Structure formats: C-alpha cells, structure tokens
Amino acid sequence: MKSESNHPHHTSGKRRPGAGQDPHRHRSSRRRRRRQINGHVIFFCILGVVFLITIIRLILWNRGTDSGYDPNETTSEFDVEVLDYIQPLDPSLLKGHKDDGVTTILALGNNPFSDDRSDSGLAGLIAQKTGATVYNGAFPGSTIATKNPEYDSSYPLDGLSLYWVTASLANQNFDLMEAVVSDLDSDSASEALKTLKETDMDTVDDLVLFYDLQDYMGGRIVYDENNLQNLNTCYGALNASIQLIQETWPHIRIFVLSPTYGTFTQGDGTEIDPSQDDLGNGTLVDYLNWQLEVSRRNGVSFVDTYYGAVTVDDADCLTDGYHLNPEGRSRVADRFAQILQPARD
C-alpha cells in the first residue's frame, strides 16, 4: 500500500501566500489603491493652483494699474459750472429794420475795454475774431450803479455810469457827459465820448455790456427789492438800462458779460479776495448772480467770464490784480467770439 505522502496531488496543511485566492479580486484591489493615490494627487494639485492664483492676484493688487491720473494736471475747469445764459433775439423785433450786411457791435463798460483802444485791445481782438465792426464806448473807472441817489458834481463819474450813458444815447444829448469828460483829462474817456457821439445806433446789431469788479470795490449796492430800477444798485441800473435799450432799439441784441476774477488792495493795505470777502453787499459772485438774474428777466444773453474765461486760477491773465493783460483780453475775446457767431446763426 502506498502512503498518502507519496500521492502526487497531496499537499501539506500549509498554503502558499495567495494560494486559493481569486486573482481578479487581487487586481481590483490594486486598482482601488491607484485610484485613491490619484485622487490625493489631483486634490493637492488643485489646491496648489488655487494658492498660486491667489498669490498672483495679491501681487497684482498691490502693484495696482495705471489709471492715467496725472497729479500735475490742472482740473479746476471741472470744479464749477459756467453760468452762461444765451438767448436768441425774437425775429419779430427785426421787423422794419434794414440789415446792412455788416455785423456792428457797440461796447459799453469800463477798463476791460478802455485800458487799450488799439487793435490789440479787447474791442480790437473781438473785431478780429468775429469779423465785426466794433465801436468802443467804454469809460475808465466807470461803474454800473451810481454812487449817489442823484447826480452830484462832487462825484462826476456817476455821469458816466451805465444808465446815464444809455440815456445820453437814447436822447442824443451828451451835455452831461461832455462836462464830466472835460474834467477828467483822460484821452481814453475823450475817445469814448467821441465814438458814442458818432455812432449810428440804427446800424448797431449787438450791444456788449462789460464792467469789471469796480462796483464791488466801490461798495455799490447790489439789489433793492422795493425798487427794481434803483440806479444806486447794480441790479436796478442794469435793469433800467437794458429796458431803455430794448424800448429805443428793439433790433439790438444785448450781451451782458460778467466781471472776471481779480483781486485788489484796500487803502489800509488789506488784500481783498472777491471770491470770499464780503465788503457789505456780498462777494463778487453775488454781483455776478444778480447780473445773471436781471439778464434772464429781460431775455438778454449773459456770458460768464468769471468761471469761463479768467478764473481764480488765472492770475497770469491780470495786471495790478484785476486789469486784463494781453492774455486775459485774448481769453475774453475768444470766449465771446465762440458765443456770438452761433448766437447770430
């Protein structure tokens, strides 16, 4: 009898590792382990990418981007709104008026026009820039409002204030103006009077009223609510003058130019900034606003040169604080010329 140990298929009780196990199950386990490893790798890769993006964004944020801002750029032109009020002339007012084909402008006012009567002065520059004929009837040192309630020879310049100039033109009576001018010993004033006496108002198409800050300097009253034609007030004198012009020469279109910015020194040496200092009747801006208001009420055009031509930042356009120099006159002339032609069209 053969022993069992010699049976070729007999094995001992111990099994080899893996013996009797399903090979497919073994391969499946390895695949699961590979998937687990790959999942971790992917997770850490994504985390790394997120971290890298965050770092890059943080660096870019700290560096910032170029906004185009120039710290040296002058931006004052955007700080305020220009207060123009431009009104067309009612066509019915031209009925019966013969157009001679020439644009004729009469300039009334004070120093902006009277300081220089040459071709390089304000009237001359306006003529060049508009192609118009410009008559300069401005008196140096004159104002819109009168100083005294009634004319007093102790202050003769009242006779050259806006309303009395307008009344002299309307009546064609220059006796008072001749008496005043003869006492002034001023070539500029004499030239203005001569111009006004020779001007044919029927040929005038546009009237420009332009006074600097001398009403403010002289402490003229701004407004009298009880008398809207009080010649002692800037509002009243301007109101009365505009209405007299409209009644006498309805075909003339009127442009009121505001005073430009300027400064001056009082007798005691005090430096005055008209944009801030109230001398008893408001700042210069108050005077400007009442000019704008009377222009609106009478339907005439108002051109803002305080914010629109020579501003608080334009000291290089002024001489002696408030007199326009060549650059200042050029700016005002440009401003007016830009408005006049579209207005006439």
Q: Is pLDDT at 167 greater than 50 in this prediction?
A: yes
- Residue 188 placed within a domain: yes
CA separation for the pair 23, 295 (Å, rounded): 106
- Residue 222 placed within a domain: yes
Counted domains in the chain: 1
CA separation for the pair 344, 326 (Å, rounded): 27
pLDDT at position 42: 73
* Structure-token pair, residue 128: 């060049």
Q: Is pLDDT at 290 greater than 80 in this prediction?
A: yes
pLDDT 10s digits, 237-248: 999 999 999 999
- Residue 43 placed within a domain: no
CATH number at residue 170: 3.40.50.1110
Confidence tier at 11 by pLDDT (50, 70, 90): very low
Q: In 3D, which of 314, 343, 31, 157 has the Cα closest to residue 165? A: 157
For residue 105, the surrounding DSSP H or E stretch is strand 104-109
State the residue range of the domain holding 327. Answer: 79-95+102-344
CA separation for the pair 163, 171 (Å, rounded): 12
What is the dihedral angle through the alpha carbons of 247, 108, 103, 308, rounded to the nearest 10 degrees?
-110
- Residue 227 placed within a domain: yes
CA separation for the pair 202, 180 (Å, rounded): 26
- Residue 44 placed within a domain: no
Per-residue DSSP letter, 216: H
Q: Is pLDDT at 156 greater than 50 in this prediction?
A: yes
SS3 assignment, position 226:
coil
- Residue 8 placed within a domain: no
Mean pLDDT for the stretch of residues 66-90 = 66
Mean pLDDT (the chain) is 87
